[in-house]
Amino acid sequence: MIDTKYSKVSRRVPASQTRSFLLALLFPAAATVTTDVWIHTITVSSNFNHNFVLAIVNVSGAFLDGFFSAFESGDAIPIGPKTEALHLVAVDMRTFGLSTYTSWAGMISVAASMGFARSNVLVGLVYVLMCIGCGCAAHGLGSDLAQYVAISAHGSILDSTTNPPYNPVRRAQKIVDAAMVLASIFIFVSYVYVELTEPQQKFWSEATPSNQLVVSILFAMLGASTGNIVSKLAPANSQFPTGTVICNATFSLLSLSTNLLRAMNSTWSESLILKAFATNFCGAASVFSRHISGLSLLYSTSSKRSRLVLSNVLVNLLFAGMVYWIALEIEVLLHDSENIDAPKTATANSIEQVELIYK
């Protein structure tokens, strides 16, 4: 699709393999520290509800996906080094960055928690539908913004009094390299911030925030790559995004492993690896932003757009509903196990207090 939009060879120059590899590592890491450190800190220190914040994250991710997908597809034609840089990173940003930043699995998990807390299944389903609807609207706005940015860049170049000869792709690559350095600094500063908030800790010996952040970043990198591979290996269908359905159904189901094991044994809640697998790996491998992008693409390119969009939504909601029902059942098991463990914990604490008195 990109080749049909660009007539110049320079506009089809991809990022180098080394740069793409580094972006595949940096984008998931930057997305993880953004959500797990800074957005989490803002949520905890404010009165914002966690469920609302996750919805905002997914919708903003859909907005960014619309922005970068326009530069990837050629709907927004890059003119000049800055917009050329956006084109160079568009694929990697959507594949690795936004897949980590957004989470279909997290949306289903939150919906199940809301439905269980309010004893109403419809509450969670409405939450899912609102996220999808707002995501579609945000995706369109992001695409419109990208086209506006491209047109503005084109106008500024035409209005320039001096037009020295230069290679826009080479300058764009330098901009991307500078952005990679800034992303690395951002990740390092985020880790230092978490480290300073927990000064009394032993590395890898306990579930501290900094240890959890390191494991979360590693699992997010693996999850983003795994989701991309699974999506590519899925049966190709120009009329239906099969890979998105498989990723969302599979990894949403796997994300329930934490609560399931916690219901069986409460000590599983202390596992760094299990928490990172369920939250970061499955969250990055499931693709909320790609689902929204697929809906927008079907609507804008297919003559049978209404039927295809509706069938795509229904199939994804069918699998989401199955995972949602399983998640609700696990919430019930987890609630029952916590009620059983509570008296045991109280009894153990009472025995310890009596022993201390006699000592």
Do 219 and 287 contact (CB within 8 A), yes or no?
no
Question: Structure tokens of 197?
Answer: 């908030």
Phi and psi angles of residue 83, each rounded to the nearest 5 degrees, phi first: -70, -30
Do 113 and 329 contact (CB within 8 A), yes or no?
no
C-alpha dihedral sign at 292, 32, 206, 45: negative
At 167, the pLDDT band (50, 70, 90 cuts) reads low
Given this model, what pLDDT does residue 12 score? 45
Question: Structure tokens of 135?
Answer: 């995501």
pLDDT digits (tens, 9 = 90+) for 40-93: 888 877 777 888 899 999 999 999 999 999 999 888 888 888 899 999 999 999
Closest CA to 288 of 39, 25, 23, 111: 111
At 146, the pLDDT band (50, 70, 90 cuts) reads very high
**Out of 135-144, 221-230, 259-268, least confident range:** 259-268
What CA–CA distance (Å, rounded) separates 322 from 325? 5
Average pLDDT over residues 12-28: 81
What CA–CA distance (Å, rounded) separates 310 from 314? 6
The chain-wide mean pLDDT, for the chain, equals: 81
Given this model, what pLDDT does residue 328 score? 84
Average pLDDT over residues 130-147: 94
The model scores a pTM over 0.85: no
Q: Which residues contact 250 (CB under 8 A, 6 or more apart)?
A: 230, 285
Do 249 and 121 contact (CB within 8 A), yes or no?
no
Report how far Cα 88 is from the mean position of its chain's Cα atoms.
Answer: 20
Given this model, what pLDDT does residue 3 score? 38
Residue type, 97: G
Residue with tokens 């990198």: 221
The SS3 call for residue 281 is: helix
Cα angle 23, 25, 27 (rounded to 5 degrees) comes to 60
Given this model, what pLDDT does residue 6 score? 37
Using CA atoms, how far residue 229 sits from 5, 97, 143, 244, in Å, is: 26, 15, 26, 11
At 154, the pLDDT band (50, 70, 90 cuts) reads low
What CA–CA distance (Å, rounded) separates 82 from 18? 20
What CA–CA distance (Å, rounded) separates 314 from 297? 16
Average pLDDT over residues 6-13: 41
